[in-house]
């Protein structure tokens, strides 16, 4: 049953600007009346109809294609209309002004999706996935958003909530009957249930890192000696002259950042100041900042000049480079053959390129993609990537579960135990946006014969 919102809302659903078509969306209880008034037509759900849009003065604004959706089987769960007009911002504006004059009010940001959530068409994690879907700039991000939109995260959380509700119900039943403490055998069983629940929330929590990689992009820091060809390589990877290339060492004193989609991923390339062992004062600051960037990197491209001996890296950086997060890029292979990597670097992916000529760039791109998929995302099944809000809730749920386990073990009072369990339940419920106390009561009454 859709919730009744007083206002019927309207907004442009496509970017304003000239385009083939623009879509104006309307949602609310007045939708059917508006269709009758504007188009002189009886609203027939899901049937696109070609009509003149006439404003309140009867002037034709445009010929449009409109579709009426009857609630609750609509995006928002309410009656709604989509009006496709010619993609002229002036026409879209005229249509909107007319709709406002007829009693609609401008929709707030996200209000259509908010109504979809409030009307039970989707849970909060799905509503968030709508935004992820719009912002996805790589195949993996798209995959994760689509999965979440189809309820993958919501289902996992719902399953955990279901199990937790059973535990809460059992504990609370004993609170209601103080003469019957939780028997030791039950305590042991519940301990097992809680440990398994905590394990599941922990596994989901671990995907927060993937979420950041997919949504924000993989922070890939390009490091190496001055003049190794880092800026030239950045330009090659981007396909345009983003960075200044100069034969003078120490030209890049600050860092440059530019993102592109590489295969299935959004990669943020960050060019840094060269790691000069004997820097000038201004260069030193650049190197400091390089090391700061390196501390936040997901991935490194270590650019080595093939015509020079392998450099010694500052220990702060060397300590961060691992086979799982670094591609060694031998540059300038048009003029020299690469040397040997020190023995400690065994297992690192190595690619030979010439940033000047453009050789080896595709191999480098493949090596980056492989590292992201295999070592950063560790893709080995369903891709679920939670966001920061989910992570906060999951971490809180994990802490509450741990506290509950401790209380169970210490034979603490059932009331205290129940309070931690409810905390965990509330935290998990926040992910989908629903904390349903009714369900605990239902469970309690149905499976524990309270009426005895």
Which residues contact ligand GDP by CB under 6 A?
224, 226-232, 245-247, 251-252, 274, 331-332, 334-335, 354-356
Which of 220, 354 has the CB closer to ligand GDP? 354
Q: Which residue is nearest to ligand GDP (CB)?
A: 229
Edge to edge, what strands does the sheet with 80-87 contain? Answer: 49-54, 60-69, 80-87, 19-27, 9-12, 105-106
Q: How far is the CB of 436 from ligand GDP (least distance, A)?
A: 57
Which is nearer to ligand GDP, 45 or 277 (by Cβ)?
A: 277
Non-local (6+) Cβ contacts of 329 within 8 A are 224, 233, 301, 302, 303, 304, 350, 351, 353, 364
Shortest distance (Å) from residue 282 CB to ligand GDP? 15
Least Å distance, CB 289 to ligand GDP, is 15
Q: CA gyration radius for the chain?
A: 29
Minimum distance, C-beta of residue 247 to ligand GDP, in the bound complex (Å): 4
Q: Give the nearest distance from C-beta 230 to ligand GDP in angstroms.
A: 3
Closer Cβ to ligand GDP, 121 or 332, answer by number: 332
CB-wise, 100 or 240, nearer to ligand GDP? 240
Q: Which residue is it, tokens 């940001």?
A: 109
**Shortest Cβ 243–ligand GDP spacing (Å):** 7
Q: What is the 3-state secondary structure (H, E, C) of the chain?
A: CCCCCCCCEEEECCCCCCEEEEEEEEECCCHHHHHHHHHCCCCCECCCEEEEEECCCCCEEEEEEEEEECCCCCCCCCCEEEEEEEECHHHHHHHHHHHHHCCCEECCCCHHHHHHHHCCCCCHHHHHHHHHHHHCCCHHHHHHHHHHHCCHHHHHHHHHHHHHHHHHHHHHHHHHCCCCCCCHHHHHHHHHHHHHHHHHHHHHHCCHHHHHHHHHCEEEEEEECCCCCHHHHHHHHHCCCCCCCCCCCCCCCCCEEEEEEECCEEEEEEECCCCCCCCCHHHHHHHHHHHHHHHCCCEEEEEEECCCCCCCCCHHHHCCCCCCCEEEEEECCCCCCCCCCCHHHCCCEEEECECCCCECHHHHHHHHHHHHHHHHCCCCCCCCCCCHHHHHHHHHHHHHHHHHHHHHHCCCCHHHHHHHHHHHHHHHHHHHCCCCHHHHHHHHHHHCCCCC
**By C-beta, is 83 or 301 nearer to ligand GDP?**
301
Q: Minimum CB separation from ligand GDP for residue 281, in Å?
A: 18
Q: Which is nearer to ligand GDP, 218 or 302 (CB)?
A: 302
Smallest separation (angstroms) from ligand GDP to the CB of 284: 16
Please, which residue, 156 or 227, has the CB nearer to ligand GDP? 227
CB of 163 within 8 A of CB of 199? Answer: no
- Which of residues 71 and 274 has its CB atom nearest to ligand GDP in the complex? 274
In the complex, minimum distance from the CB of residue 314 to ligand GDP, in angstroms, rounded to a whole number: 16
Provide the token pair at 107.
Answer: 């929709």
Min separation Cβ 300 and ligand GDP, Å: 14
| Long-range CB contacts for residues 343-349, cutoff 8 Å, separation at least 24 | 347/323, 348/321, 348/323, 349/323
**CB of 301 vs ligand GDP, minimal distance in Å:** 11
């Amino acid at each position: 049953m859709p919730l009744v919102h007083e206002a019927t809302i309207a907004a442009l659903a496509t970017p304003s600007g000239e385009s083939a078509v623009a879509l104006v969306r309307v949602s609310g209880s007045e939708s059917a009346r508006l269709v009758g008034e504007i188009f002189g037509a009886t609203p027939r759900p899901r049937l696109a109809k070609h009509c003149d849009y006439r404003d309140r003065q009867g002037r034709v604004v445009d010929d449009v294609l409109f579709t009426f959706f009857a609630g609750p089987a609509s995006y928002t769960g309410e009656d709604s209309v989509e009006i496709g007009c010619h993609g002229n911002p002036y026409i879209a504006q005229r249509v909107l002004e007319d709709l406002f004059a007829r009693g609609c009010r401008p929709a707030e940001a996200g209000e259509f999706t908010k109504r979809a959530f409030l009307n039970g068409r989707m849970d909060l994690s799905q509503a968030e996935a709508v935004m992820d879907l719009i912002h996805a700039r790589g195949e993996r991000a798209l995959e994760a958003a689509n999965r979440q939109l189809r309820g993958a995260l919501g289902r996992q959380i719902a399953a955990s909530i279901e199990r937790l509700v059973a535990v809460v119900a059992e504990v609370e039943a004993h609170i209601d009957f103080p003469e019957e403490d939780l028997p030791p055998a039950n305590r042991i069983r519940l301990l097992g249930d809680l440990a398994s629940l905590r394990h599941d929330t922990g596994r989901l929590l671990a995907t927060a890192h993937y979420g950041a990689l997919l949504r924000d992009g993989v922070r890939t820091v390009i490091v190496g000696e001055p003049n190794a060809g880092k800026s030239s390589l950045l330009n090659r990877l981007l396909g345009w002259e983003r960075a200044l290339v100069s034969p003078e060492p120490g030209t890049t004193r600050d860092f440059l950042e530019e993102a592109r989609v590489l295969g299935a991923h959004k990669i943020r390339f960050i060019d840094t100041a060269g790691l000069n062992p004997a820097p000038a004062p201004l260069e030193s600051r650049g190197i400091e900042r390089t090391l700061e960037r390196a501390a936040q990197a997901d991935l490194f491209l270590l650019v080595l000049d093939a015509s020079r001996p392998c450099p010694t890296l500052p220990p702060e950086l060397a300590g961060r480079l691992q086979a799982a997060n670094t591609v060694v890029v031998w540059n300038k292979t048009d003029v020299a053959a690469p040397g040997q990597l020190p023995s400690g670097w065994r297992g690192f992916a190595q690619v030979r390129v010439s940033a000047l000529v453009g050789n080896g760039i595709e191999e480098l791109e493949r090596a980056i993609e492989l590292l992201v998929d295999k070592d950063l995302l560790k893709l080995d099944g369903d891709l679920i990537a939670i966001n920061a809000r989910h992570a906060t809730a999951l971490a809180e749920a994990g802490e509450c579960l741990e506290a509950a386990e401790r209380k169970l073990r210490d034979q603490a009072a059932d009331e205290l135990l129940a309070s931690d369990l409810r905390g965990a339940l509330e935290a998990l419920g926040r992910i989908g946006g629903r904390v349903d106390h009714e369900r605990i009561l239902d469970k309690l009454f149905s499976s524990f014969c309270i009426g005895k």
